Chains A and B, each alone.
Chain A
Amino acid sequence: MHEISLCQSVLKIIEQQAAEQNYSRVKTVFLEVGRLAAVEPEALRFGFDAVMKGSIADGARLEIIDVIGQAICLQCKTRVEVKQRFDACPKCGAVALLIEQGEELRIKELEVE
């Protein structure tokens, strides 16, 4: 369950950015979470509320931006959607997919005051 430590990293980034971007309160956190990032959104939500308590993001809303997995097949050169790492190419069946998208774990934006 490393979602808690990920939330702690989120809080650290929020606090570091507060001075730089001149805000004192965070109302919403927009988080990009790739489907291949090995993170459970529900566990993330659970950890988020607990970790933000008492901070400048206490009570903030967590908005998870779902990023689908995308890969290019090295065999048939088609760009395809992948649900798991070991998916075979749905077009040609080759197990030679190069993941291009879906591993994101990034704070995209904040709504602040």
Chain B
Amino acid sequence: MCLDCGCGSDQIKIDNESHACASRRVNIEIDILAANNNYAAANRRFLAEKNILCLNLLSSPGSGKTTLLTRTITDLKNTHAMTVIEGDQQTSNDAERIRATGVQAIQINTGKGCHLDAHMIAHALQKLQPHDDSLLFIENVGNLVCPAGFDLGESYKVVILSVTEGEDKPLKYPDMFHAANVMIINKIDLLPYVEFDLDRCIEYARRVNPDIEVIQLSASKGEGLAQWYDWIELRRDHLGKSIGAHGAPYGESV
């Protein structure tokens, strides 16, 4: 084998010397997601400087993300400044639903893309110019797979699962439930009408993520929302102390 490049051509000799092979190996050792993680770290710094609590909402389509978000905004907008980044493949329907509540929202259409990435969020932040001490909600593309791998620089990942879905989703989509800090079980008002084993669902979620917190609520009927709002308040109080530990899944220092 050719000692220069391993191309198997050491039989070829030119003036009794092995051929000059231009091919060589170079060491790279770069994480493919490094660029995204750098943007995420910059977003996280920006948000920390402004003392903004940023929640990345993740779920499959139809779990009630936008309903929960509009309800949360309506209930909290008199006491908190807030902005919203909406991610969908197409349409600005969701951003319009948010704007109808009187809160500033930006729509990112990912086209064929299946997730938001940190670079998109960086651009959206420039446009939004969120206020100091405000809340920022990011509603990710409805997808329990791809968004799990892309750190946006958020403070926390919130995964939403509704009782009209399968209770085994935490096992079917373990990466998402592993990445999330809190799981919201939505539409609990429908529990009497569906076959959804609440305890088993929580057990499955803890199996992939022993530290995951669980909040049960009904965004449309209002049950359990107080606990969700308490959770938000508590995280706001702890802002700056815990973001590094909870919000940096790729281990960047903040």
Contacts and interface: CB of A to CB of B under 8 A. Distances in A.
A23 B26 contact: yes
Interface stretch (B17-25, B46-54, B223-231): B17-25
Contacts of A108: 27-29
Taking each of A5, A6, A107, which has the highest tally of chain B beta carbons within 10 Å of its own beta carbon?
Answer: A5
B25 A109 contact: yes
B145 interface: yes
B157 interface: no
A15 to B, nearest CB: 12
B178 interface: yes
A17 B28 contact: yes
Interface stretch (B97-105, B109-117, B213-221, B233-241): B109-117
B30 A112 contact: no
Give the bracket for the number of chain A residues in contact with chain B.
20 to 34
B28 A110 contact: yes
Contact of B145 (A6, A23, A38, A110): A38
Contact of A2 (B24, B27, B29, B149): B149
B124 interface: no
A59 B104 CA distance: 47
B28 A12 contact: no
Interface string A26-42: 01000100000110000
Interface in B29-50: 29-36
Interface residues of B, number: 34
B23 A112 contact: yes
A91 interface: no
B28 A113 contact: no
A10 B30 CA distance: 9
Contacts of A113: 22-24
B5 interface: yes
Interface in A7-24: 9-10, 12-13, 17, 21, 23
B29 A106 contact: yes
A105 to B, nearest CB: 5
Given A110-B28, A112-B23, 20 more contacts: A2-B114, A2-B149, A9-B36, A12-B35, A13-B28, A23-B24, A38-B145, A38-B148, A85-B174, A85-B175, A86-B208, A95-B210, A105-B32, A106-B30, A106-B31, A106-B32, A108-B29, A109-B27, A110-B26, A113-B22
Interface of A: 1-2, 5-6, 9-10, 12-13, 17, 21, 23, 27, 31, 37-38, 84-86, 95-96, 105-113
Interface of B: 5, 22-36, 113-115, 117, 145-146, 148-150, 171, 174-175, 178, 204, 206-208, 210
11 contacts: A12-B35, A17-B26, A17-B28, A17-B30, A38-B149, A84-B174, A85-B208, A86-B171, A107-B32, A110-B28, A113-B23
